[in-house]
Amino acid sequence: MAPRAHWKGYLKLSLVSCPVALFPAVSRTERVSFHLINRETGHRLRQQYIDSVTGAVVERDETVRGYEVGKNDYITLEESEIAEQAIESTHTIDIETFVPREEIDEVYLDDSYYLAPDDKVANEPFVVIRDAMRKSETVGLGRVVLSGRERVVMIEARDNGLLATTLHYKYEVREEKPYFESIPNLKLSKEMLDLAAHIIETKRGKFDPTKFEDRYQDALVDLIRAKRAGKPRPAPPEPRTPSNVINLMDALRRSVDSESRRGKAAPRKSSAKAQAATKKSAPSRSASSKKRVRKAS
């Protein structure tokens, strides 16, 4: 069963439009979350709004939004007044332009959503827009109001639907120069680069998100289970602090030796048939080394 839509409205391309729904592509409900508890009573705490001057508790229905124009001077706005300012992107994603995907810097990407038709009548215009983008090898750029602010959104074909990714505005993205300008331009020896490239080659593989587990969350789950069962707390993992590199060339050589030993150990787990195929297809020493590297990865 699909989750509840985060936003519903229309997807528009010139005079073609269709009702659509946005669904969060990422779920955070599986994360371990905590509540604040009164240590003495064991009761859960709840938040309250406190008047910063009088110290009185203010109920939710007595609050309004305020924009500060001076010290302790605010322009107040009711929720109804804000809602009246709804612009077109509140209910319609109008695709304004199409660009090659590679032109959009990854640093601008924010949250992703699955975009799907909201009824059967929408299927045909939705598919037309999707397939036209796929054929042109471009992504669409539009705007949508989410969580009270207008966002630029990038739309691209994905499987049978569309993937909508909100983008940061230019003013939100920091320039990289202040962070990188102090890094000197060093001339490295060919041997250093070759050793580093060899280490990278031994670790080459394909992206598999299932290989990356949330070890911190797993440790929290183990801790919670132990306390619930009245068992001793599991011993925390010993932090491994990398030592400072005194001799870079020596560290690279030792890294190559370490990865090579791993590469030699890996084929033992493979089948005899696979090992035989590897030996048979090894035309040169360098080629067989590359195959062992890929198996180890």
In-domain check, residue 62: no
In-domain check, residue 264: yes
Both structure tokens of 113: 């959503």
Check whether 239 has a pLDDT greater than 50: yes
> What's the chain's length in residues?
297
Structure confidence by residue, pLDDT tens digits, 31-72: 888 889 999 999 999 888 999 889 999 998 899 999 888 888
Q: How many beta carbons lie within 10 A of that of residue 266, not counting itself? A: 15
Let me know whether 199 and 115 are in one domain: no
Q: How many domains, in total, are found in the chain?
A: 2
The predicted model gives 187-203 an average pLDDT of 85
In-domain check, residue 201: yes
Let me know whether 268 and 149 are in one domain: no
Let me know whether 99 and 206 are in one domain: no
Check whether 267 has a pLDDT greater than 60: no
Task: With beta carbons less than 8 A apart as the criterion, state whether 15 and 22 touch.
Answer: no
In-domain check, residue 15: yes
83, amino acid identity: A
Residue 112, pLDDT score: 96
Could you list the residue range(s) of the whole structural domain that residue 211 is in?
190-216+248-296
Let me know whether 104 and 161 are in one domain: yes
Confidence tier at 1 by pLDDT (50, 70, 90) = low
Which has more confidence, 50 or 273?
Answer: 50
Check whether 264 has a pLDDT greater than 80: no
Let me know whether 16 and 127 are in one domain: yes
Let me know whether 20 and 91 are in one domain: yes
Cα separation, 12 vs 18, whole angstroms:
7
Q: How many beta carbons lie within 10 A of that of residue 156, not counting itself? A: 17
Check whether 198 has a pLDDT greater than 80: yes
Does pTM surpass 0.75?
A: no
Among 113, 146, 172, the domain boundary falls at 172
Let me know whether 260 and 158 are in one domain: no
